[in-house]
Every structure is written in C-alpha cells, then in structure tokens.
Amino acid sequence: MNEYSTHTELLIRLLDGELNENELAAAKKIIAENPSVREEFENLQIAKNAVHTYGLKTTIGSIHKEMMQEIKSPATGLTRKIFHYGLRIAAVLIVLFGLSAVYQYLTATPEKLFSENFHAYELHKTRGSSNTTLEDLYEEGDLNGLIQQYDQLKSPEAKDCFLAGNAYLSTHRSSNAIEAFTRLERINKTNNTHFFEEDVEYFLALSYLGNNEPAKALPLFEKIHSDPNHPFNSAVSSWFLLKIKRSVSVH
C-alpha cells in the first residue's frame, strides 16, 4: 500500500472519530510534521463540513465505505493511483460545492430570496362563475388592468383579492400584495370560509420577503415546511429556511 493511500485512510478515520488513542497521537504527529498531509487533512475537513451543511452524511459514509473496500482489495499500483486522484477530485468538487453554499448563505437577502422563488400563480379558471372579469384579465396577462378593476370594487370577493395579490406581486408591488392577501384572510375569518387558505399562506410569505420583512415571512414558511401535506411544502426546503433565518438575523 503506498504512502498516500495510507495517509488518506488515516485522515478519514480521524475525521470519522474511528482512531484509538495511539493511532490518534500518530495521526496528529504526521499532520504536524508533513505539510502535504496537513493540507490534505484541511481539505477533507472542509469537504466534510460542506457536505454536512447540505445534510449529506449518508453520502459521506457511502464514499468512505467504498474507499475502504478499494484500499483493502488487491489492485495494481496504477489502479490505486487512479483511485487516489479520483478521491482528491471528488474532495475538491465537494469543497467547491460547499463554498457555493456558503456564498449563497452569506449573500441571502429578502429581495434575492423573493426573486429566486416567486413564480406567478397558475390560474385554474372557475367555469360558470358570475364574476370572471378579473380572471379573464389575469389569464390575458393584463395585470395593470386587473389592478385597476380591483381598485374599483367596493366589496371584493376572496378570489378577487387573491388575483389582485398575485398581480401586485408580479408587478413588484409587495406592500399592495400584502394588503390584498391579508384582506382575503379577513374575508375568510369573517365568513368562516377557507378560500385559497393554503395558497395565500405561501404568497403572503413571499410578499413579506419582497417587502423586506423576513421576520414576518419566517413563521409562515416554517408552518408550510412542517406540513408535508401542504401544496407548497416542496417549495420550502430546510436550506431555504436557513437562508431566511440568516436574512432575519442581519436585517
């Protein structure tokens, strides 16, 4: 077994906490005395932390297991060298992946999170509805016309508020969207109805992001994330929540 394979195995066992007291002392001595080994250890440590950031502990275990099998199996020097270089390339890619994640995390702002995650609502038109003007305008993409019509309504219905809220969001008027969505919520509460209840939670949360109010958006997104049956559950990942929490902490 060549020196590099031995060191790589030792370093990974060190990171996984598998060394006994004597092996641990030997590993620390090698790292301290050998600059190339120390560099490799630091790279593997960064890679492991990056993977853990993305919650991929199982993947690391799998890679480690495959590496152990490869090291223990009879192979030519060329095969071992190819495997060693392949492992180093994989480590570099994981490091780059982790650095990308760190950059995304540190540069997360409410406005950026909104722009990356907002997609216009796809309307499923209610056939036979007596009030289809706003629906028609929404389907035609005449959002400004829809907003003008909505502003003239003295007693808008729940669907009117929902369409207007999405029209406001699509035209970057987040504060108006918040007013429309919260108005819809009041209508539901007053009439004991549940029109667009789950949809409005998601789009209201996005509205708060767009309006630079991440602290108000966070509990709504957490509620969606905790409910696997919520229609927008898949749109709210743990990583997305982490970035929102970051934006709240620095806001």
**Residue 68: per-residue pLDDT:** 55
- Residue 124 clears pLDDT 80, i.e. is over it: no
Name the CATH code of domain 110-250 (choices 1.25.40.10, 3.30.1360.180, 3.40.440.10, 2.102.10.10): 1.25.40.10
**Residue 127: per-residue pLDDT:** 44
Residues 6+ apart with CB under 8 A from 170: 120, 143
Q: Which whole number is the average pLDDT over 224-237?
A: 93
- Residue 57 clears pLDDT 50, i.e. is over it: no
Q: Which residue has the higher pLDDT, 4 or 231?
A: 231
DSSP 236: S
Mean pLDDT of the chain: 79
159-215 pLDDT, tens digit per residue, is 999 999 999 999 999 999 999 999 999 999 999 999 999 999 999 999 999 999 999
In this structure, of 108-117, 119-128, 186-195, the range with the lowest mean pLDDT score is 119-128
CB 117 within 8 A of CB 70: no
**Residue 81: per-residue pLDDT:** 54
Residue ranges covered by each domain of the chain: 3-106, 110-250
Total residue length of the chain: 251
Indicate the residue type of 112.
K
Provide the pLDDT confidence category of residue 23 given band limits of 50, 70 and 90.
confident
Positive or negative torsion for Cα 202, 187, 213, 177: positive
Provide the pLDDT confidence category of residue 129 given band limits of 50, 70 and 90.
very low
* Angstrom distances, CA of residue 28 to CA of 10, 11, 21, 33, 83: 10, 10, 11, 9, 25
